[in-house]
Amino acid sequence: MAILGAYVVPHPPVILPEVGKGRESEIRNTSLAYQKVAEEIKALAPDTVVVISSHMEMYSDYFHIAPGDTVKGSMKEFGTGEVSISIEYDTELRDALCTLCAECSVPAGTLGAQLKELDHGSLIPLYFLDKAYGEDMPKIIRIGVSGLMLHEHYRVGMLIRQAAEKADRKVVVLASGDLSHRLSEDGPYGYAEEGPIYDAKVMEALAKPDFEELFAFDEEELDKAGECGHRCFVMLSGIFDCIGAKADKLSYEGPFGVGYGIVRFEPLGEQRKAAERSFFDIYSERMSEEMANIRRNEDAYVSVARLALENFVKTNSITKLPKDAPDELREKRAGAFVCIKKQGKLRGCIGTIEPVMGNVGEEIIMNAMSVAVRDKRFAPVRVDELDYLTYSVDVMCEPEPVESIDELDVKRYGVIVTSEGKRGVLLPNLEGIDTVEEQLFHARQKAGIKDNEQILISKFEVERHA
């Protein structure tokens, strides 16, 4: 069997005595489990170790695989140059993986290299391996995560196993990622109640193992939990597609406000049945069914926005308002915002406060095309994303001037802030915006208005279609 085993591991720099200078004793269980992992890997005697790291170059629409023949790294950015590692890449296995990704239209490869040395997400597990081996370390390949959807990470895991089989390699996989960074007030990002909940759910899912549970988290939940390694864990889970795995939780602790978990996975056997379907295919079909159901329930406003955006992305053509569009889309004039999300995460939002087109239908069409390519916060929408997008349309009501922030309500009113020709707009009832102060802060940010600059505030209501 190509896959000898796999491990979820964390990468706290403080775990290295040269960095921790005594504080590593506070995560002694993690350190002992890490040493056990390294000894087990040495006993397995893999040809190659595949390291999936959340701290490699990360792109929104591309999986970066480290290029070159060899790589070095040290912990000098963490205050010590004593820790340094030099290791050789398995170029044949890497080439096999890149070829499979290209054949399966997975955007992955060795382009986009920026980091000249090992990232610490790769270096820390390799540090423990180096200590266990002493010399004659196995070759490695390294791959990073992306902003693509979770099931695409799962598919890359499937291709890692296929590449190992094709290249006739015995492989161990390390998914290097911490859990929540929001376990305590003195942690790196403070405390959030979602942090401990996330860690408990993920550790339970990994220990069963129930890899499907990793797909139960949307982007908002992952952001609130402040996780680091979720996509790494999903990619690892794809390695065991159709073969299954036995899992053992080796350790979990979080004394520094960050969750550190170590879990061992052993393959159960060869593919159970040739007819058994991949979870990737099942999940993709399920997503397609969910999207189809969403679209069956779209109203005319959302339907026009989707039609306009999809036509523009596919053919670069401008959509005309459908003949069967309701009269209100033809007769009413109003500003409108079109927002798109992908897997629960904002993918773009552009709109007009006041009408500039002949009717609200044309307003929606114009802003739908604009959100596809003109929201500077995001890359242009690609054809392969269209099946996963959800839409909302906010039709603007007449703004009213505000004398006091007591007149504002983040759930009911959006805000417009202006200062010396600069203007920022924030819609009402947005996820993550819970107070008037937060609403005004983000509106200022969008406009580039500094905290010490005076602003005029207007409020408005919207007619939301989603």
The pLDDT of residue 271 is above 60:
no
Q: What is the pTM of this model?
A: 0.83
Q: What is the mean pLDDT of residues 402-422?
A: 94
270 pLDDT more than 70: no
Helix/strand/coil for 210: coil
Partners of 3 in beta bridges = 171
Q: Binning pLDDT at 50, 70 and 90, where does residue 139 land?
A: very high
DSSP 3-state of 143 = strand
Contacts with 434 (C-beta within 8 Å, 6 or more apart), sequence order = 410
Nearest Cα to Cα of residue 402 among 387, 392, 412, 389: 412
Residue type, 78: F
Share of residues in the chain with pLDDT > 90 (%): 82
pLDDT at 384: 86
Per the structure block, which two tokens stand in for 411?
């759930």
Q: Which of the residue ranges 4-18, 94-108, 252-266, 424-438 would you say has the lowest mean pLDDT?
A: 424-438
Q: Which amino acid is at 220?
A: E
Residue 337: count of CB within 10 angstroms of its CB:
24
Q: What is the pLDDT of residue 276?
A: 65
Judge contact between 138 and 47, C-beta under 8 A: yes
Is beta strand 139-144 parallel, antiparallel or unpaired with respect to 3-9? unpaired
What is the token pair recorded at 62? 């591309």
Averaged over 320-340, what is the pLDDT?
Answer: 95
The Cα–Cα gap between 431 and 269 comes to 44
- pLDDT for the residue numbered 134: 87
Strand 422-426 and strand 456-460: pairing? unpaired
> Residue 7, SS3?
strand
Q: For the segment 311-325, what is each residue's pLDDT rounded down to a tens digit?
A: 999 999 999 999 999
How much is the pLDDT for 43? 97
Model confidence pLDDT, tens digit, residues 73-122: 998 888 777 788 999 999 999 999 999 999 999 999 999 999 989 999 99
Q: Which residues pair with 396 in a beta bridge?
A: 462
Is pLDDT at 275 greater than 90 in this prediction? no
What the chain holds in terms of domains, given with CATH numbers, is 3-277 (3.40.830.10), 298-396 (3.30.700.20), 397-466 (3.30.1490.150)
What band does 432 get if pLDDT is binned at 50, 70 and 90?
confident
The answer on pLDDT for 27 being more than 60 is yes
**CA–CA gap between residue 301 and residue 361 (Å, rounded):** 7
Indicate whether 274 pLDDT > 60. Answer: no
Under DSSP, the state recorded for 183 is B
pLDDT at 362: 97
Check the CA dihedral 122-41-241-105 and report its sign.
positive
| Tokens (6 digits) for 147 | 């902003």
24, 2, 28, 29: which is closest to 249 by C-alpha? Answer: 29
The pLDDT of residue 343 is 78
User: In angstroms, rounded to a whole number, what is the distance separating the alpha carbons of residues 102 and 111?
Assistant: 13
Say whether the peptide bond before residue 46 is cis (omega within 30 degrees of 0).
no
Per-residue pLDDT, 79: 78
Which pLDDT does position 78 carry in this prediction?
85
Q: How far apart are CA 49 and CA 6, in angstroms?
A: 9
What pLDDT, in 10s, does the model give residues 142-161? 999 999 889 999 999 999 99
